[in-house]
Amino acid sequence: MIRKMDISTPEGYFETLQERLRLIPSRRQRPSVVRRLSPYVAIAASIVLAAVLGNFILKTTAAPSEEDLGWEYVSYLAQSLDPDGILPPQESEEMTSGDIVAYLINEGISVEQLNAYYNEEDD
């Protein structure tokens, strides 16, 4: 006989225990929808989490490009820093006399007018 005299159980415990144990096969055959879906939900949640984290890490570590900032914002910054456009362009091309002549023709300024302007300055 098992020596169990020093421990006891609630009244009718073994009857209810056996009833609960007999439910195990039915519980195992028909797992709940949540239980069936939970592995897939967990996988989907992991993918979303990885994507969000990856995006966050990339955004915080990589230098922002013009596209990221938006062209309008870059233009605004350039305007703010150099409102009169007095700063020389970073990659200036060398201006030739041909370019000057083309500019003057385009603006309708004759060489005579230009000479007159410089003569006034000299005076």
Partner 1 sequence: MTLEERFNEIIRDYSERVYYHVRRFVNSHEDADDLVQEIFLKVWNALPSFRGEAQTYTWIYRIATNEALNALRREKVRAALRFSSLDEVMERRIDSDPWFSGDAAQRALSKAVARLPEKQRQVFILRYYDEMPYEQMSKVLDTSVGALKASYHLAQEKIRAALGEGD
Least distance in Å: CB of 47 to partner 1?
Answer: 30
Which spans of this chain sit near partner 1 (rule: CB under 8 A)? 1-10, 14, 17-18, 20-22, 24-25, 28
Q: Name the region of 94 (left: φ>0; alpha: ψ -120 to 50; beta: rest).
A: beta
Q: Quick one: 10 or 39, whose CB is closer to partner 1?
A: 10
What kind and span of H or E run contains 70? none
Compute the Cα dihedral for 65, 67, 69, 70 and give only its sign. positive
The minimum distance between CB 20 and partner 1, in angstroms, equals 7
Between 16 and 75, CB nearer to partner 1: 16
Nearer to partner 1, 17 or 105 (CB): 17
Q: What is the closest distance, in whole angstroms, from the C-beta atom of residue 63 to partner 1 in the complex?
A: 44
Tell me the closest approach of the beta carbon of residue 32 to partner 1, in angstroms. Answer: 15
Tokens of 7: 């421990």
Alpha carbons 106 and 109: distance in angstroms, whole number: 8
Q: How large is the C-alpha radius of gyration of the chain?
A: 42
